[in-house]
A and B are shown apart, each in its own frame.
Chain A
Amino acid sequence: MKSSLVRQAVILAALALLPAAGEAIYFRDKISWRSAIAPSEMVTVEHARELGDTAIWVDARPEDEFANDHVPGAISLNEDRWNELLPQFLAVWAPGKKIIIYCSSVSCNASREVAHRLRKEAQLSDVFVLEGGWEAWLKKNR
Chain B
Amino acid sequence: MKQTSNIEPSSPAAAGTSNIELPSDVRSLGVWRVLSRIVDFVLAGIFIYAGIIKAFDPVQFASDIDNYKILPWPVCVALAFYLPWLEIFCALGLVFRFLYRGALSILTASIAVFTFATIAAKVRGLDITCGCFGHASQNWSFPSHLATNLAILTGLLLLFFKATSGNRLQNAG
* Residues of chain A in range 1-23 having any CB-CB distance to chain B below 8 Å: 1, 4-13, 15-17, 19-21, 23
How many residues belonging to B are interface residues under a CB distance threshold of 8 Å? 29
CB of A121 to closest CB in B, whole Å: 15
Select one of B73, B82, B101 contacting A20, CB under 8 A.
Answer: B82
Enumerate chain B residues within 8 angstroms of A20, measured Cβ to Cβ.
81-82, 85-86
Closest to A24 in B: B81
Interface 9-residue window, one of B3-11, B21-29, B58-66, B117-125: B58-66
In the assembly, what is the distance between CA of A10 and CA of B105, in Å? 11
B100 within 8 A of A: yes
Select one of A7, A15, A31 contacting B59, CB under 8 A.
Answer: A31
CB atoms of B99 and A12 under 8 A apart: yes
Enumerate chain A residues within 8 angstroms of B103, measured Cβ to Cβ.
8-9, 12
Enumerate chain B residues within 8 angstroms of A32, measured Cβ to Cβ.
77
In the assembly, what is the distance between CA of A24 and CA of B74, in Å? 12
CB atoms of B99 and A11 under 8 A apart: yes
CB of A20 to closest CB in B, whole Å: 4
A38 within 8 A of B: yes
CB atoms of A38 and B59 under 8 A apart: yes
Closest to A4 in B: B101
CB of A56 to closest CB in B, whole Å: 25
In the assembly, what is the distance between CA of A13 and CA of B85, in Å? 9
Main secondary structure of the interface of A (DSSP, over half): helix
CB atoms of B62 and A36 under 8 A apart: yes
Enumerate chain A residues within 8 angstroms of B90, measured Cβ to Cβ.
12
Contacts A1-B167, A23-B58, A38-B59 given; indicate if A13 touches B81 (C-beta within 8 A): no
How many residues belonging to A are interface residues under a CB distance threshold of 8 Å? 28
In the assembly, what is the distance between CA of A21 and CA of B55, in Å? 12
CB atoms of B102 and A7 under 8 A apart: yes
CB of B63 to closest CB in A, whole Å: 6
Enumerate chain B residues within 8 angstroms of A30, measured Cβ to Cβ.
59
Closest to B87 in A: A16
In the assembly, what is the distance between CA of A123 and CA of B76, in Å? 27
* Residues of chain B in range 86-138 having any CB-CB distance to chain A below 8 Å: 86, 88-90, 93, 99-103, 105-106
Contacts A36-B66, A36-B73 given; indicate if A16 touches B102 (C-beta within 8 A): no
1/0 per residue B137-173: CB within 8 Å of A? 0000000000000000000000000001001000000
CB atoms of B74 and A34 under 8 A apart: yes
A88 within 8 A of B: no
Enumerate chain B residues within 8 angstroms of A1, measured Cβ to Cβ.
164, 167
Enumerate chain B residues within 8 angstroms of A13, measured Cβ to Cβ.
86, 106
Name B's A-contacting residues (CB within 8 A): 55, 58-59, 62-63, 66, 73-74, 76-78, 80-82, 85-86, 88-90, 93, 99-103, 105-106, 164, 167
Since A16-B86, A34-B74 are in contact, a sample of 11 more A-B pairs with Cβ atoms closer than 8 Å, ordered by chain A residue number, is: A4-B101, A5-B101, A8-B101, A9-B99, A12-B86, A12-B102, A12-B106, A15-B89, A20-B81, A32-B77, A38-B59
